[in-house]
A and B are shown apart, each in its own frame.
Chain A
Amino acid sequence: MLLLGGIALILTGMIFGDIFAVFVLHQNAARVEEGLSAAAHAAVAGDSTSVGGSFRDIGSFLENRGTKVDTHVHMVDFGYLALLLAIVQPWVAFAEKTKRGLGWMFLAGAWLLPAGVFCIHYVGLAYSLLRAIGWASIFADLGGGCVQLATAAYLVGLCKRFRSPIAVVDGLLELRTNAAQRLLAGGLVLVVLGFAHGAYYAATDLYRHEAADYEILSRVVAGSASQDAVRVDAALAEYGQLQGDKAVKIAAHAHIIEFGLLAMILAFFQPYVNLSERWRARWVVVLLTGSVLLPVCVLFELKFGLFAGGLADVGGLMVIVALVAMWIGIVRYGGRLDDSGESAS
């Protein structure tokens, strides 16, 4: 249940992320830039009413973007956590019924939180009893609470098992197949590369970006106050470049680590993927190639524009297709067990 539910969460999160990247992300960024430009030009003209209106629009665009990014990230991360909890199940010292109940609680929360976050932008504060938090946020927090409770309960179950002398043997951890070893090795390399890139970004860009953000906005504000529209436009163009540079570097860092982690987790489930060794190896290659292609192309998106963006989407699609193939393999494995159970009875 946690295994299939986890992969379903990851797949839905990835497909949602792809749709968001293609149809919402760039358009939304352009609207934010237009809003900022409108606010700056209203300030140049001395029209403080229009400044307020432009910032209300910007706030709405940013909320729309932020909630969709959060939906994507939480769905994928809860999927990963579900897979990891599925692997440690043999060591959780609870009755099967309790474990299943906790699994349902985890999955319910893992779907409720992203669904709630997605609705925040559309529901707002309608009928809310609180001044700042709407119903969608309340349901999202409730979902988060379910996930936390279930995870904490699994932790207690693990602690109980570790205190008991009974040894647990689990074939999942043997990593006998070539596909599993390649996924583990490839995933680990991706994670290490992602860490190195993150450290490089923190050392060279993070503080520079923060300083530039403030410095450019100061120039926009100063230009507006002195009614210097040329200075304002130059600074706004620079601000757009800065936001783009920041976004692609953070996205590349996050995606390479997430895909590495996914590959490592999937390594443990290869014995459950009921496909021939040749096809398993093929899907591993597709998954790892897509995992490299997406972050690398995202990184080059500012330099090569739509070409790199398109290739990044292809990379994302490759990961999704490989994941669907493995998911089908696991469903087939479940079906095989059911068949053998029926014939035995």
Chain B
Amino acid sequence: MSAARRILLLGGIALAIVGMCHGTWYAVFAEHQALDRIGGSLATAFTHASERNAAQATVALDVYREAKYAHERQVDAHGHWIGLAMLLIVVGMAFDRISLVEKQKLALAIGLLAGATLFPLTVLLQIFSHGALPRVLTIASSALMIATLAITAVGLFANRASS
């Protein structure tokens, strides 16, 4: 089996395990608290509104926004890690059919694995920093993933056309 294929198969299964561990950690230690915080802060905002306390209502809404922002990114990272991992495994199995030389295939496999690992990681980074850097990194890693997958598709179609 080629090195490129090994990278994709082993990397894909390892990434799926990382995604599952992250999901388990989140479900056991953080999700219940996050959902309570989201629901609780929104209820508090409305309660303050009923007491005509607009300032406190805004504070509670800010807590709601922050909690929901973090929760959605945790769920997105979990889902994308596992989804991309499965894609790596299935692409790995078809990788020998791509009409590229071995060196190019290796670079492509590394690019796919890097994109699949970094994209969800940069989504998680957005929780800790609301600045431009994590968003730029997310765009860059997703672009890497799309570009490498598109090259894989072209390679597969080229092989099909030639055979």
Instruction: Please report A residues at the B interface, Cβ cutoff 8 Å.
Output: 39-40, 42-48, 51-52, 54-55, 58-59, 62-63, 73, 77, 80-81, 84, 87-88, 91, 132-133, 137, 140-141, 144-145, 147-148, 151-152, 154-155, 158-159, 162, 168, 173, 175, 181, 184-185, 188-189, 191-192, 195-196, 198-199, 202, 210, 213-214, 217-218, 221-222, 224-226, 254, 257-258, 261, 264-265, 267-268
Q: A191-B87, A210-B65 are in contact. List 8 more A-B contacts (CB 8 A).
A: A52-B47, A73-B79, A84-B12, A137-B27, A148-B20, A158-B13, A162-B6, A214-B61
A148 & B50 in contact (Cβ 8 Å cutoff) = no
Per DSSP, chain B at the interface is helix
A152 & B17 in contact (Cβ 8 Å cutoff) = yes
B13 & A148 in contact (Cβ 8 Å cutoff) = no
Checking B65, B146, B152 against A214 with a beta-carbon cut-off of 8 angstroms, the contacting residue is B65
Nearest 8 interchain pairs by C-beta: A55-B43, A224-B49, A43-B50, A225-B49, A43-B49, A48-B50, A225-B54, A155-B13
If A55-B46, A192-B153 touch, whether A257 touches B90 (CB-CB below 8 Å) is no
B1 & A147 in contact (Cβ 8 Å cutoff) = no
A141 & B28 in contact (Cβ 8 Å cutoff) = yes
If A87-B93, A145-B24, A224-B50 touch, whether A132 touches B156 (CB-CB below 8 Å) is no
Residues in A with CB closer than 8 Å to B13 are: 88, 151, 154-155, 158
A202 & B142 in contact (Cβ 8 Å cutoff) = yes
Nearest chain B residue, comparing its CB with the CB of A84 = B89
Instruction: Please report B residues at the A interface, Cβ cutoff 8 Å.
Output: 1, 6, 9-10, 12-14, 16-17, 20-21, 23-24, 27-28, 32-33, 35-36, 39, 42-43, 45-54, 57-58, 61, 64-65, 68-69, 79, 82-83, 86-87, 89-91, 93-94, 96-97, 138, 142-143, 145-146, 149-150, 152-153, 156-157, 160
Number of A-B contacts (CB under 8 A): 172
Residues in A with CB closer than 8 Å to B39 are: 55, 58-59, 62
**Nearest CB in chain B: distance from A119 CB, A:** 14
**Nearest CB in chain B: distance from A274 CB, A:** 21
Cross-chain pairs A/B with CB under 8 angstroms, 18 sampled: A39-B43, A42-B46, A43-B50, A48-B47, A51-B47, A55-B39, A77-B83, A88-B9, A88-B93, A155-B13, A185-B156, A191-B149, A192-B146, A192-B149, A214-B64, A217-B42, A221-B48, A267-B94
**Nearest CB in chain A: distance from B156 CB, A:** 6
Residues in A with CB closer than 8 Å to B94 are: 173, 175, 184, 264, 267
If A147-B20, A152-B17 touch, whether A188 touches B47 (CB-CB below 8 Å) is no
Provide the bound-state CA to CA distance between A147 and B143, in Å.
31
Checking B12, B21, B58, B82 against A218 with a beta-carbon cut-off of 8 angstroms, the contacting residue is B58
**Nearest CB in chain B: distance from A250 CB, A:** 10
A47 & B50 in contact (Cβ 8 Å cutoff) = yes
**Nearest CB in chain A: distance from B4 CB, A:** 13
B54 & A222 in contact (Cβ 8 Å cutoff) = yes
Checking B27, B57, B68, B87 against A261 with a beta-carbon cut-off of 8 angstroms, the contacting residue is B87
